[in-house]
Each structure stands twice: as C-alpha cells, then as structure tokens.
Structure 1
Amino acid sequence: MISAYRTHLLIALDVSAIVLGSACAFLLQTGDPLQTYGVAMPLLYMLLAGALGVLCMFRFQLHRRIWQYAGVGELVAILVSAAVTAIVPFLVANAVFGWELPALLLLHHLTAMIFLMAGPRLMWRAFCDYFGTCRRRQSQGRTRALIIGAGSCGSLIAKELLQNEIARTVPVGFIDDDPYKRSLSLYGLPVFGSRCDIPKIAERESVDEIIIAMPSASKAQISAVINVCKGTKARLKIVPDLNEIMQGRSSAARVRDVSVEDLLGRDPIRTDLEHIANYVEGKTVLVTGAGGSIGSELCRQIAPFAPRQLLLLGHGENSIYSIEMELLASCPGLVIETVIADVQDRKRMEDVFAKFRPQVVFHAAAHKHVPLMERNPSEAIKNNVFGTKNVAECADQFGAERFVFISTDKAVNPTSIMGTTKRIAEMYIQSLDKHSKTKYVAVRFGNVLGSRGSVIPRFKDQILKGGPVTVTHPEMVRYFMTIPEAVQLVIQAGAFAQGGEIFILDMGKPVKIYDLAADLIRLSGFEPHVDIDIHFSGIREGEKLYEELLTSEEGLTSTMHDRIFVGKPMQINRSELEFEIRKLEQVLGRQPAEIRAVLKHLVPSYSNAS
C-alpha cells in the first residue's frame, strides 16, 4: 500500500514538473504568454510536452528509482527525458504547425525541465546524506575508523559506513600517499596525510580501527602499511586483494581482519600452467593424506587441471568426506574416488594401486607433530618411514609416472624423531629412483600457516581467552608459508621432476616466533605485555632454535621457477639402506634409546635434542 502510494506520488510530481516546465518556458520567454501567443498554442504545446514527458518517465522508470541514492544514472535519465520533452514539441511546433517559436523558448524549457526534475532528487539525496552523516558522526559508542586509501575502494567503504545506520563503525578520515589528495576531503571526510602520519593521526583522532582499502596494492606494499599500523593501538582490518575479488572468494565492500599471512608480504606465485597441465591433465592422480591441511589443498589445486580421476586417500573418514563434498560442489564434473586406508597397510596399498593404477602420486600422509612423535617414536617410524615405503614401492610396482613426496625442513640435520623419519623417507625414495621408471622427487619446505598443529591457531585461542600467549624461546625462528602458496609450489615442482631431486621452496625470511606472537596480539587490538602477557615455556623435546632447508652435501641450484630450488641428488646405496631399514623395523616397540641409536646410525646428522 505504501509502495503504491509512493509510486503515484512520484508520478504526480514528475507530471507536475513536466507541465510546470512548459509553462515556465513561456513565462520566461515572453513574460505574458497569453498576450503573445493566446491560449491554444501554449496549451497544445504543454499537452504535447506532457505526453512525451510521461512516456519518457515510464521508459526510464524514473518513478521507480530511490531518490535517496540518486546519482549519475538518474541524472542521465533526467537529461535525456528533458531533452526529448523539450526538443520534440519545439520541432513539431515549428515544422508542423509553423508557429516560428524562438530558440530561446527551447533553452528556457530545457533548463526548467532539468531543474524541476533533477533538483528535488538531488536536494533529497543531499539532505539524506548530510543528515545521516551528521547523525552518524555524532553517535556515541561507535568504533572510530581510519581508512587507508582514498581511492574508489576507500570511498566505497566510507560511503557504506556513513549511510548504514546499523553499522557500529564510523569513519573519521583517510590516509593516502598521493600528494595531490592531501588536505582534500571525500564525503566530507579529510585526507589527513601519508602512511608515515598513521601513528600520529590514529592517536590524535582516537582511532579504534584501521581499515586498509588497497585491493590493487602488492603484498609487499600491504605488509609495509601493516608494519606502520602496528605502531598504533587500533585493530586492523583489510579489504581483500584483487585476486580474491576476481575469483569470487570475496567482494570489495567486505572487509576482514588482517591475518598473519598479510604480514609475510609475498606476492602471488607465478605458475607455469602449461607444464603442470602436461603431467596432471587427463591422468589418474592419487593424493595420500587427502584430508589433512596440505593434502586437501593439493586436491583443491589439482582439480582445476582436469585430471581423469582424483583419488582421495586418507585414514580419517570425516576429513575425507569433508574434502569430497567441497570438491563435488566446486568441481561438479570432476571424477572423485574416496579411499579410506592406512598407508602402513601394505596389502591395502597394493589393492588400491592395482584397482586404480594412479599415474601421479602426491604423498602427503605423515605424522608431523614434533613433541608427540618424540613420545611415540615407533608410530612416527611406522607411518613416516614404512608408510612412505609402501606407497613408493607400489608406485614402482604398478607403473606410476611420477611420485612427489611432501617433506619438511626438519629433515635437515634433524634433532627430532619426526624430522629423522622424514629424512629416511627422502633417502629411500632417492634410492628407489635409481632403479625405477617412476620419477621420484621430494619437496621440502618449512611451517605452513593455518595447518593442523600450527602455532597460529594456538596463539589466537590464547589471545581470545585473554592470555598469556606462550612462546617456547625468545630467539626461536621458523620459516613460514601459507598453505596455498606451499601447495602451488609443490605442484609446480612436480613439473620439473627428472627423478631423484629434492626441491627446496623459497620460504622467504625466517620469522621470530616471539615477533609473530606480538604481531598477533597487536592485530587483535591489544598491546603485548600490557593487555596480554607473553610467557616463555622452554624448548620442547625434539625442537631446535632454527630450521635449515639444505644439508651441506646437497648444494643448491636454481630451476626455471624463481621460488623453487633443487638440491643435488645424493649417492645412496639401496642395499645398505634396505638393510638398515630392516634393523629399524626390528626395534619398533622397544625402548626409545634403542630406537634412537638405530636412527642415528641411519642418519648420522641426527642429534637428539631432548
């Protein structure tokens, strides 16, 4: 009922504006139109203009547009309607009726139409904007936000915050490095200065929140801005980058919390799609550990390359079911086979390979938690050594083309059971490569943010509970990557496989865990050691202060990709290695000291740190 009443009112107002515009044109042109033209001519002219105006009004749906948001689209529609309503009657009057009306009448008519139709809309828009903005700015108890970036994205965020009455955030101004925008204003909000001014402005304006609205900026630029913002007490939020927006994972108007991934400052990876497609497209691909953080991301990134069949193998039914449902929703045409199996079960592995004959194998199944594996060494060996041995030998037995083993930087000069078992697995697949048609390679990288067992979720949980945040040692450093970039490089490394290589991923600069904890606290809007304490718990069993990516024997050479390097294949005697692995099998379940002694004999660089 209200909508119909509003529509009828708008139609009446526009019709009145059209008729009044014609009358105003005659009045402005002559001052006394009845004396100059009589009654019939102006009346006929107004009827013709009115009929055309109503047609244009319905053609452009002017009565259905919301005046509060009147903008360029409405203005263009009004200009076209006014032009048709003024010009056509003028031409008809002169050409058909021979009235010889002066051009000044046309100009007056056009001006009056535009003013009477556009004026009320723009005045209402200005009133709503001003009233709403003033009311929002004077509202108490709202979060005060500083927007970084006075471009189209920043203005969109500011406009939404100013007009949305239920939003709990109100913008106070902008920061922009463009000197031409300095001291200007946008939606009545000042552009305070450049990024160097952020700490000073944030304190002066009592800023509670900083929104980084720079979706086209590089990762390095975003990281630099975040580092400046860390000097404030404000919470940080960010608009997703263009990659996320273009891929439909987010929109420019949706902000999210700044994450640790944003701090890494690494730009998107350049991928050689052609080489990847050559070894994945149309092939049966097996991913072990497919329900884990690395395995599931491998499945997500392999799926777009159109494998003939994707085998999801894992021990946990819930995680395998979860990634299966996700892939079926995102890639409906993908042929998926779920396999619940334990890589330690040799007979089961042989049955899987015999049935599906995978041509490409990504082996991600492993026990990776360092302290837990120190307390359960036999389980680490059974899964990481003998599980890898089972899958690798089946790949050879059933003619797989390529076998990619997911390793870790903890395999280099290991101090843990987990790292040592991974190193033995590396050695085994390198020895197997010498006698097989299958190309065996390992890909070695450090910690991945957000993976199961990662330090980040634990820190976030501790912050949520009010602290303290526990860090093992003030000098402990680790290499970090995001899960997607690590997996993307793993798949890319697989394209370079010639057999026997250990590929090392460029992890960037090592990060001090203490700094990581402090950054997470600041990103959450707190001050380390003021709002939330950081406690040192001591190095846990199997851990060391820093990790390495390369043994001294391996050397390092570059590949065609600037983020992937290759270690020189080592000369490994397979017979001797097999003999030592059989000895390792015999000590399973015995005392940890016996197990460690055999591990030390197998991997001389292993030193027990516990």
Structure 2
Amino acid sequence: MDLVLIGVSLWAASAVRLGGVWPDEVWGQGWPLLVVLPPIGVTLFHGLGLYRFVLRSLGRHDVIRIAQACFLLSLILAAFGFFDFELFLPRSTPIIFALLLAFLMVVGRGAARSYYQLLRERGFQKRPVIVYGAGESGMQLVAALNAGREFRPVAFLDDDKGLQGRFIAGRRVHAPGDVEALSKKFAASDVFLALPSVSRARRKEIVSFLSQHPVRVQTIPSMVELAAGFENIDRLREVGIHELLNRDAVDPMSALFSSVRGKSVLVTGAGGSIGSELCRQILAMQPSRIVLFEISEPALYSIEIELRELAAELDVELIATLGSVCDEARLYQVMLTHEVETIYHAAAYKHVPLVEANPLEGIRNNIFGTRAIARVAAACRIDRVILVSTDKAVRPTSVMGATKRMAEMVLQHAQAQSAQTVYCMVRFGNVMGSSGSVIPLFQKQIAAGGPVTVTHPEVIRYFMTIPEAAQLVVQAGSLGKGGDVFLLDMGEPVAILDLARRMIHLSGLEVKDAATPHGDIEIAFTGLRPGEKLFEELLVSGDVLSTSHPKIMRSLDGAADFGDLDEVLSELENAVLNHDVQSALRVLQRTVEGFISEYAPPNLPDNLVGADVIDLSISSSRAIIPDSALAGADYRSDLRSS
C-alpha cells in the first residue's frame, strides 16, 4: 500500500503546486522519480520500524512515527531536486508531498484497522453499555471495551455541564438524568462507573441515584488500586452494597496496633467470618506469632493455606491449632506453649434462629467458652483479652443475644478479680458478607429469579464491612483499660426492605409489586423469626464516652455488682449438664436484663417426674426419655411417640 501511496503523493504534490494534472516541466525529465522514490521510501520505513507496528493498536505514538518517516522521505525528495539540475522540483513540493503522504498513510492504516475490527466482531453480539464519567478514565474504559468482544459503549453520562452535549471518543455526553431514556433508546441495561478518584460520599450519591433505575451498575477499580498496579482500567466488578451504606470508613490509626504488633496473638474462631478477617488484619500488623485456634478442621485449613505465604514474607510464625474453647486444658496448653500475649475471642455461635433452636449448645459455647478463655488467660497472665460481641446482646430477645450478654458479664466479672489481664469487649452490628448475613442471601435469591425474602417491612439494621469491623476490633483492643465495653460507630441504620429494593435495581431488574405487576423480582415477607427484633441497639444504659478513635466509643454497661455471678454460672452449668432447657432459660431470663424467653415447657405427666431429660430438639421443644427406656428397653419407639 505504501508503494502506491508514495507514488500517488508525489504526483499529487506536483499537480497541486503547479496547477496541472501532468505538468511537463516536472515529469518531462523527472518521471524516473515515480519509479525510484517508492522503493526508497519503503526501505526507509522498514528501517524506521513502521512495519513492526501492530495494526489493531494504532495510536498517537504511531502517527507521530509515521509523520517523522514522511518528513525524512521528503528530505530525500528535496535532495533529488537540489542535486539534479535537470529536474524541475519547486521547493514547496517536498513539503506538500510529506503532508499528503502522512495523511494518506494514517487514513489507510486507520481504515485497515477498522476493517480488522469489523471482521473480528463479526458473529459477536456486543452488549450496549452506558459509561458514567467522561474523563480520562472513561475514555480509557471505552478504548478497552472497544478492543473487547463483549460490550459496546453507546453514550457517556457526566455531571459536568460543560461536557454535556459534546462528543468524546465518538459518543455523546448526556446528563445523568437521561439514564432511563438512554437505557430504553439503546436497550442498554448496564452502567459502568468510570470514577476511580471520586470521593466516597459522591460515589454513594451516584450509586444511590442509579439504584432507582432498572440498570445494573458495575465499576472500575479505585485510583489507589490502579496506581498500585493491582487492577486494570477494564477490570469491572459489581458495585458493592457497601456503596449504599450511610457511613464512611475511617483510616486506621497505627498507634492503636500496640496490642498485636510484635506480640504473640491467639485468635479463637479463626476460620469464621470475623475471625478469619481478624487474622488477616493482625497478620498485616506484623505480630511475632499468630495462633489460629479453630474447632472446624476445614475452616482452619482454609485460613491457614490463605495466610501461609504472606506470613512467610512478613516473617511471622503461623500456627494452626484445632480445639474447642470449652476445653480449658487444651487452651492452657496452647497458651503456655506459644507464649500468647493477646487473645481475640471470636469463637461463638451467632445465628439467631439456630441458637434459638439449640439453646444449650449456644449457652455451652458462648458463655462457658468465654469463661474458659477468661480463666486460662488469668492463669497464664495474658496481657489482653478482647471479646467480639454484638448489638444483639442489648436487651436481647433471643437466646443468642442473651448468651453474648452473659459472655460480656463473664469478662467483666473476670476483670474485677484480675489485676494482671485487661479484659474488654467490642460490640457492633451486622457485618456484610459474613456467614448468615442477609446480603449474600439476597444476592443468591436475585440470581435465582426471586422471590427475595424480607422478614418484616419495618425491620432495620446497622451494617459494616468485614475488613472495617475487624480493623476497629483490633484497634479497640489497644484502648482497653479493663472491663470496657466498646461500641463501634455503625452510621445510620438501613431499612432491610429498602436494601432489598436497591439490590434488585442494581442488578438491572425491577421489583414486582402492585405498582409494577410486570416486574422481575418479587419481595416476600416471611415474618420475624424467633428471637428477632425490628431494630437493634448498641447501649444497655449509661452514657457513651469518646475515645482517641472517632469511630470507637466506650460504655461501662453492666459494670456493677457481680457478687453472685459465680453462683449463677454454677446453676446454669448444672442445667446444661442435665440437659434442662427450661432451667437454663430461666437462669438467663433472671440474669440478663430485658431477656424474656418464649419457651413454654409442656405439662409433664406424674410418672415422668425426675426422669432424665435430654435435649434432642430442633425447636424450643424437647424429648423426654424415661429411665426405664434408657435402662435397656426399645427406646426408639418411645422417642417416636414422645
């Protein structure tokens, strides 16, 4: 192509300069130039690397290189005119020649690239998308999408009124309010956010606005991720639901990592949602040793494999230990062997309906597991013990909440008896993405086509991301002076019904209800589950005190008289050992402020008085097995009848 273009440009330059199709004064003696110059030019271009360009990636730098090559070839043409006195070649002809040739070469290569893309896209149905953000990131995203086979950018949205109505990268820039009209016009159900450097507050506003329209919203990585090289501009991901939370994360304060940095740290429940994130955060703060204590072998294996390589890089000793927090002897052995200095206690049964159905196991693990930790920590002279608690411990309506409040009281009681170990608790609300969280459930239900189940139209909850919760728990541990209950600032509460609607809209779907009977996903109300509240609280009583961290507050809930707590725990332990659900719940109801159990024991026949009671229930009921049955009779039929 270049052989032809060089000859055409040379002829056209002479014709333009002298105003004739075939000026004899040039071509009478100079016609050999039309034969000699093209091979010279192609040889020059080859030497300059023009034929090593990848055609589909033609860009600004390639155009500059082509212009330079054409300029050098025009100098060669000018040299012919200067040294050949028989050749009539006006001085402006080489300049015109260079401009024409550069133009034709760029246009020719651009046309070839467009034809290549046309052939490449043939047979692929690209999905139309709208790009929010017409800045540099938006243009880079459009270029990346054009190179792919999946998406076809059709329009820009931007808040800058100076850009609205203009064309960028061949697409018109529209106001954000046009999103629904554009979605219908181009059949575009996706909006890509190209706003990596926008503030968190503004990002939330944009996502909240888009969630009111039936479009699926995805985003490119943040500017920090792009600058660090962790992500690429075209690495799209779903907008996290945390974008809709009414709170801003606060950067960690490195001064508050003194409880873990350079120390031997033990994390109970290390394979759980909170425990595993605590391990990640603590490891990043470079303790001398981190002991993963977990009862579930698969969970322990998973977190150990994940952290092993990073621990080696940071020169942190990583120890995976199987065991139950109720086993004091095992805890004592582990703490002495690994010289533990700080304990983060995250091992607990936390699912409200499951603990409601299995109250004795909840009591055994949550209360007596915490007591075992407290006892062994005192015996081993551990520096700090930090309990991961919950807002459900405040005036609880569930067995789980009551056991967590009792766990707090156990640590406060231990603090009253210890001058060596600092015990404290960190209380916060729901954590997004943790096991049992409503958000993964909603995502699964939306993917399955619905319905999305909400317990009650008025239920509200506080939410926090797992990494932020774990980070604040670690920092709160350094603030403890003894017996403290720390509250994490959870921001504004979120209505679960509103959360469900927004998640449906962010998936590009419509809610199916009376107003939109032809919608995609229906929301079904199932009623509050046993032990659930409409709203949660973080404070039992007393004032909230500020700390050096803006998102961590201190309360002294329940730091009163614990003189009879040992007696209460003894009575509760006997009830658990005897599998006596009724007595255990009575003790909780008498001890924990606000807790009222809905458990109603059946009327027992006279001939069953004094019989052994075994907790076999999956609800609040229990099976009663007579002594005679346990003595050797066929008790299976008795079980079925009872």
Q: Does residue 1:286 correspond to 2:269, yes or no?
A: no
Distance in 2 between residues matched to 1:92 and 1:124, nearest whole Å: 28
Any idea what the Cα deviations from partners look like across 1:506-560, whole Å, max 9, x if unmatched? Answer: 111111112222222222332222322222211111111110011113x112222
- Where 2:162 maps in the other structure, the secondary structure is helix
Residue of structure 1 equivalent to 2:284: 304
Q: Which amino acid aligns with 1:213?
A: A
How far off its partner does 1:364 sit? 0.9
Q: Cα gap change, 1:122/1:322 in structure 2, threshold over 3 Å: closer, same or farther?
A: farther
Q: Does residue 1:534 correspond to 2:515, yes or no?
A: no
Of 339-348 and 282-291, deviating more is 282-291
Aligned partner of 1:445 among 405, 410, 428: 428
How far off its partner does 1:444 sit? 0.9
How far off its partner does 1:331 sit? 4.5
Q: Which amino acid aligns with 1:365?
A: A
Q: Which amino acid aligns with 1:239?
A: I
Q: Is the 8 A contact 2:66 2:106 kept in 1?
A: no
Q: Does residue 1:257 correspond to 2:238, yes or no?
A: yes
Q: Is the 8 A contact 2:489 2:551 kept in 1?
A: yes
Residue of structure 1 equivalent to 2:207: 226
Residue of structure 2 equivalent to 1:328: 308
Q: Is the 8 A contact 2:348 2:365 kept in 1?
A: yes
Q: Does residue 1:151 correspond to 2:135, yes or no?
A: yes
Q: Does residue 1:271 correspond to 2:252, yes or no?
A: yes
Distance in 2 between residues matched to 1:579 and 1:114, nearest whole Å: 97
Distance in 1 between residues matched to 2:423 and 2:213, nearest whole Å: 50
- Where 1:344 maps in the other structure, the secondary structure is coil
Q: Which amino acid aligns with 1:147?
A: V
Distance in 2 between residues matched to 1:248 and 1:322, nearest whole Å: 27
Distance in 1 between residues matched to 2:110 and 2:159, nearest whole Å: 31
Distance in 2 between residues matched to 1:83 and 1:391, nearest whole Å: 81
Any idea what the Cα deviations from partners look like across 1:301-321, whole Å, max 9, x if unmatched? Answer: 222222211211111111111
Q: Is the 8 A contact 2:130 2:188 kept in 1?
A: yes
Q: Cα gap change, 1:518/1:50 in structure 2, threshold over 3 Å: closer, same or farther?
A: same
Residue of structure 2 equivalent to 1:5: none
Residue of structure 1 equivalent to 2:606: none
Q: Which amino acid aligns with 1:377?
A: P
Any idea what the Cα deviations from partners look like across 1:443-496, whole Å, max 9, x if unmatched? Answer: 111011111111122222222332222211111111111111211221222232
Q: Which amino acid aligns with 1:67?
A: L
Residue of structure 1 equivalent to 2:458: 475
- Where 1:275 maps in the other structure, the secondary structure is helix
RMSD: 3.5
Distance in 2 between residues matched to 1:360 and 1:73, nearest whole Å: 58
How far off its partner does 1:605 sit? 2.7
Q: Is the 8 A contact 1:78 1:114 kept in 2?
A: no
Q: Which amino acid aligns with 1:255?
A: L
Residue of structure 1 equivalent to 2:549: 561
Residue of structure 2 equivalent to 1:240: 221
Q: Which has the higher helix share?
A: 1
How far off its partner does 1:582 sit? 1.8
Any idea what the Cα deviations from partners look like across 1:91-149, whole Å, max 9, x if unmatched? Answer: 9999xx999x99984x654553464256323443256448958997x999653322211
1:496-535 equivalences in 2 (<5 Å): 496-529=479-512, 530-535=519-524
- Where 1:502 maps in the other structure, the secondary structure is strand
- Where 2:256 maps in the other structure, the secondary structure is helix
Q: Which amino acid aligns with 2:447?
A: L
Q: Which amino acid aligns with 1:411?
A: A
Q: Is the 8 A contact 1:362 1:406 kept in 2?
A: yes
Residue of structure 2 equivalent to 1:125: 110
Higher radius of gyration, 1 or 2: 2
How far off its partner does 1:18 sit? 7.3
Any idea what the Cα deviations from partners look like across 1:170-218, whole Å, max 9, x if unmatched? Answer: 332111111111111123221122x233234334444322222222222
Q: Is the 8 A contact 2:26 2:88 kept in 1?
A: no
Aligned length: 582
Residue of structure 1 equivalent to 2:364: 382
How far off its partner does 1:569 sit? 6.1
Q: Is the 8 A contact 1:361 1:403 kept in 2?
A: yes
Q: Which amino acid aligns with 2:552?
A: I
How far off its partner does 1:358 sit? 1.5
1:61-460 equivalences in 2 (<5 Å): 61-83=49-71, 105=91, 108-109=93-94, 112-113=97-98, 115-117=100-102, 119-126=104-111, 128-129=113-114, 143-164=127-148, 166-167=149-150, 169-193=151-175, 195-246=176-227, 250-264=231-245, 266-276=247-257, 278-333=258-313, 334-434=316-416, 435-460=418-443
| Structure 1: 5+ residue stretches without partners | 1-12
Residue of structure 2 equivalent to 1:10: none
Q: Is the 8 A contact 2:335 2:380 kept in 1?
A: yes
Distance in 2 between residues matched to 1:69 and 1:261, nearest whole Å: 37
Of 22-31 and 77-86, deviating more is 22-31
1:43-62 equivalences in 2 (<5 Å): 50=40, 54=43, 57-58=46-47, 61-62=49-50
Distance in 1 between residues matched to 2:109 and 2:246, nearest whole Å: 45
Distance in 2 between residues matched to 1:395 and 1:56, nearest whole Å: 78
Distance in 1 between residues matched to 2:321 and 2:422, nearest whole Å: 24
Q: Is the 8 A contact 2:204 2:244 kept in 1?
A: yes
- Where 1:433 maps in the other structure, the secondary structure is helix
Q: Is the 8 A contact 2:55 2:113 kept in 1?
A: no
Q: Cα gap change, 1:14/1:578 in structure 2, threshold over 3 Å: closer, same or farther?
A: farther
How far off its partner does 1:268 sit? 4.0
Q: Is the 8 A contact 2:219 2:238 kept in 1?
A: yes
Distance in 1 between residues matched to 2:395 and 2:423, nearest whole Å: 22
Residue of structure 2 equivalent to 1:578: 566
Any idea what the Cα deviations from partners look like across 1:8-37, whole Å, max 9, x if unmatched? Answer: xxxxx5678779878988998897468899
Q: Which amino acid aligns with 2:237?
A: R
Q: Which amino acid aligns with 1:112?
A: F
- Where 2:511 maps in the other structure, the secondary structure is coil
Any idea what the Cα deviations from partners look like across 1:380-414, whole Å, max 9, x if unmatched? Answer: 11111111122233223223222221110001111
How far off its partner does 1:347 sit? 0.6
How far off its partner does 1:262 sit? 2.2
Distance in 1 between residues matched to 2:131 and 2:528, nearest whole Å: 41
Distance in 2 between residues matched to 1:436 and 1:65, nearest whole Å: 74
How far off its partner does 1:441 sit? 1.7
* Percent identity (aligned): 35
Q: Cα gap change, 1:172/1:38 in structure 2, threshold over 3 Å: closer, same or farther?
A: closer
How far off its partner does 1:265 sit? 5.5
User: TM-score w.r.t. structure 1 length?
Assistant: 0.85
